[in-house]
Amino acid sequence: MRVITERVVWQLTELQHFLLYCLRFLPSFLSRNSIKIQSANYEEEPKREKTQAEMIDIMAKELSDLPQFSLPYTFLTHFKIDI
């Protein structure tokens, strides 16, 4: 009977150590990645996709903001592409 009691105590101790090891990082993980659940009064707004004209304007802005001697700028000016 004593051997059985010692094994049960050992198993419970090991289980406790395992759970403490697994749950040790849970608070810091949850603080960085909070759990989000849907609310009954939440209305998701549909996301509008950008039009092709808007995407062209964004790309033109990015290209015009490039430094003068960067590789894309040099490539575009070498082939005389107007930005």
Q: Regarding predicted confidence, which is higher, 70 or 21? A: 21
Domain segments of the chain as ranges: 1-32
Please report the DSSP string for 29-74 in residue order. Answer: HHHHS------TT--PPPPPPPPHHHHHHHHHHHHHTS-TTSHHHH
- Residue 83 confidence (pLDDT) above 60: no
* Distance between CA atoms of residues 70 and 37, nearest Å: 46
Each residue of 34-69: pLDDT tens digit? 777 776 776 777 788 889 999 988 888 887 777 766
Contact between 83 and 76 (Cβ < 8 Å): yes
Residue 65's pLDDT is what?
Answer: 78
> The whole model's pTM is what?
0.35
CA atoms within 13 A on the CB side of 62: 7
What's the average model confidence in pLDDT over 9-37?
86
